[in-house]
Structure 1
């Protein structure tokens, strides 16, 4: 019998999987994490593992990353991001578990004229985005008991851009930041908090979990430095490149319709930096 207090997190050693595992444990769940030792491309092993541990929820964070997905590696990306998601959904079906599929704003075109919500049809224009979109479709077609979560520019202090920006400032080095790439930065605290609420309320469907507003990479980096007590102008080097400019701003319409109070990206950042003792 599947136990809602047991959560299986695939890709538990990745950027998002590690944080989700830690914060779910903090919230009182019994978390079982797997990574490369149990490939999402092996459906029989996945089903056997699900039968063994009987999780009530499976959070699928396993995937080939955006920066590792090119035309040359797209076969592997589809194998993991699409068929892997289907395999996890099949394993969830065998024991009656909910699958939480971690998706991305990359399922939309990278150059949008206006913000997009959960009712707008995705049209990805990158190999990575297409593989993640295929994964969403595979999950929907395999089980009704699913939560698909998209977000953008997820950050935490232990790795990634936020750490790189603060490391550069502490070392007196420069950091190059794009002025022509826009999205809604979202902290892992906000992301996981609303993911937990969706699970606890037995929600189903597709949700955008993003902070409100829009920022460039430069705006985001400057605000991190400002809150940490540095002068952004002494650290940041602005950069633009029309070929790789982006504008993908998600709106959390589904959450807003049920009265969720999502923070602005600036308030979210300040609260997260306070939580991590990073404010000046």
Structure 2
């Protein structure tokens, strides 16, 4: 579900390359806020992957009801429909369910403490999936980039071509994650028959937005300087987690390898993402 998005596009590619029989539902095909439509669309499937989400983080601060309808009620409708169809549901969630104040990677079972409207609606969506579909895989991710949508690396590459200097925050830390890698991880989780529960689908290691930008620019061959600043210089309506590093113990316990180091994976992804 949400087949028009950046992650879903790569997920479709991975599944089709594997020879899977896929039904892709875009927003025009499936309004996740309509329980009857959700039930009809997932009636004859084995696995439902919910990539549909309200992801306009700042807009959610003034439109939390609308975000809740997609991120929480929509998740509930799909999870309920999946259970009725005897299907496993994979629900994509986010680091924003945490408060971002940790100093070590968040464990899968760490207490949820969202500090933004978007985070609250995604936390509610997790709760709904757990309540409605016992056979669930909740996969939290963060700092996604890919070839099939607007994303941070493509924005930075464009700006680097236009400017001599880029100023980027250095006090937000996370794990840049290629949507292709996340799609592959989701398929591996399902194929492994991983136990129902919560998993973290992020690259390994960690960096700041400034560190990520330096890696991006280094591969472009430009003379653009990248300088560090703090989040105070870029105040946004929704608070951003200062620390978004997620641990991968549940993956290892299920016998599924986490995604590799963020920098190595960017080096593999860069040409595809920036060309996209």
1:218 is matched with which residue? 210
Residue in structure 2 matching 1:107, options 97, 109, 112: 97
Within 5 Å, give how 1:83-162 maps onto structure 2: 83-158=73-148, 159-162=150-153
Q: What is the deviation of 1:278?
A: 6.5
Residue in structure 2 matching 1:256, options 235, 252, 259: 252
Report whether the alignment pairs 1:177 with 2:168: yes
1:4 is matched with which residue? none
1:26 is matched with which residue? 17
Within 5 Å, give how 1:267-278 maps onto structure 2: 267-273=264-270, 276=272
State the TM-score, normalizing by the size of structure 2. 0.87
1:191 is matched with which residue? 182
1:239 is matched with which residue? 229
Which has more strand, going by share of residues?
Answer: 1
Report whether the alignment pairs 1:228 with 2:220: yes
SS in 1 for 2:48: strand
Q: Distance in 1 between matches of 2:97 and 2:73?
A: 16
The 8 Å contact of residues 6 and 147 in structure 2, kept in 1 or not, is answered as no
Q: What is the deviation of 1:135?
A: 0.4
Q: Distance in 1 between matches of 2:76 and 2:274?
A: 40
Q: What is the deviation of 1:182?
A: 0.9
Q: Distance in 1 between matches of 2:163 and 2:19?
A: 41
Greater RCO structure (CA 8 Å; 6+ sep): 2
The total of aligned residue pairs comes to 265
Report whether the alignment pairs 1:16 with 2:7: yes
Show CA shifts across 1:189-217 (max 9, x none): 32112111101112221100112221110
The 8 Å contact of residues 42 and 82 in structure 2, kept in 1 or not, is answered as yes
Flag the 1:29–1:19 CA change in 2: closer, same or farther, 3 A.
Answer: same
SS in 1 for 2:266: helix
The 8 Å contact of residues 154 and 274 in structure 2, kept in 1 or not, is answered as no
Show CA shifts across 1:37-93 (max 9, x none): 221011112112222xx1111111111114254332111111110010010011111
Flag the 1:47–1:269 CA change in 2: closer, same or farther, 3 A.
Answer: same
Q: Distance in 2 between matches of 1:172 and 1:28?
A: 44
Show CA shifts across 1:233-278 (max 9, x none): x25353313465612211111123336254211111112236x296
Flag the 1:134–1:33 CA change in 2: closer, same or farther, 3 A.
Answer: same
State the TM-score, normalizing by the size of structure 1. 0.86
SS in 2 for 1:193: helix
